[in-house]
Amino acid sequence: MYGPPVDLSFKDISNVTGALSEVPRNGQRPLKSDSKKKYLSRSLRLSNNSIPNLTGLQYMLSTLLAQPSMLGWLDLSFNIITCIEPVLCELTELRVLYLHGNAIWNMSEVNKLGELQYLHTITLHGNPIEDLKGYR
């Protein structure tokens, strides 16, 4: 039922809702949509943009994806995100979260993700937090 990732990387997006005006990049497999033109995917790539925060993430997901509550993989790498906003903890099915190459510096921000019971992979390298002893 689910198709390949919706790839909105390298789109010069400066805020999350700006993704709605972009056409996803073509991958090896074509994207699948439902009758409402929402993507049948559990994966979203928003990497290599200029996103500073996640304001509007739930709105964007519900507009873009057929089943936003089933999002399992989110790539936010290489943006300018400084904190982990509560909206990420609402993504209860999230299993993989890429946050490398951002501006996260506070360990208490990362601790917020402890609520996500299925989260098994998170990347943080290339963030200022990497300089903290024992951050891993």
Confidence tier at 108 by pLDDT (50, 70, 90): confident
pTM of the model: 0.95
Query: Are 94 and 74 a contacting pair, CB within 8 Å?
Result: yes
pLDDT of residue 132: 80
Q: Is the pLDDT of residue 65 over 70?
A: yes
Whether the per-residue pLDDT at 42 is higher than 80: the answer is yes
Q: Which two tokens stand for residue 104?
A: 């996260």
Q: pLDDT-derived band of residue 1, with 50, 70 and 90 as boundaries?
A: low
What's the Rg (C-alpha) of the chain?
A: 15
Q: Which domains does the chain have, with CATH numbers?
A: 6-131 (3.80.10.10)
Answer whether residue 120 shows pLDDT above 90. yes
